[in-house]
Amino acid sequence: MAEEQKEVVAEVEAQEIVEEQAPTKEEEEKLRQERISACNKDVSAVLQKYGCSLDASVMLRAGQVIPNIQIVPVELMRQDKPT
C-alpha cells in the first residue's frame, strides 16, 4: 500500500514538472518564427551561392493544394526578361 502511494506521488510530481515545462502559445509562436527565419536565411544563402532563384506556384484542384517549386538559374531569368 505504501509503495502504491509512493508511485502515485511520483506520477503526480512528474506530471506537475511536465506541465510547468510546457511552452505557452506565445513561446511556441516565437520559436516557430525563429525557425522560419533561420530556414529563410539558409535558403537565401544557398540560392545566392549557386546563383539560383525559386519560382513557386500553387494549383488548387478538387480540394487539393498542389505546390510547384522550380529552381531557376539567375542567368535564365535574366535572358527571359525584356530589356
* Residue extents of the structural domains in the chain: 1-50, 52-83
pLDDT (0 to 100) of residue 38: 93
DSSP track, 16-42: HHHHHHSPPHHHHHHHHHHHHHHHHHH
Q: What is the pLDDT of residues 40-81, one digit of tens each?
A: 999 889 888 888 888 889 999 998 999 998 988 887 666 766
Q: What is the mean pLDDT of residues 17-45?
A: 85
Judged by DSSP in three states, 12 sits in helix
pLDDT (0 to 100) of residue 24: 83
Contact 51, 70 (CB under 8 A): no
Higher pLDDT, 8 or 59: 59
pLDDT (0 to 100) of residue 23: 75
Rounded CA separation 50/69 (Å): 17
Contact 44, 53 (CB under 8 A): no
pLDDT (0 to 100) of residue 56: 87
Is residue 16 predicted with pLDDT exceeding 90? no
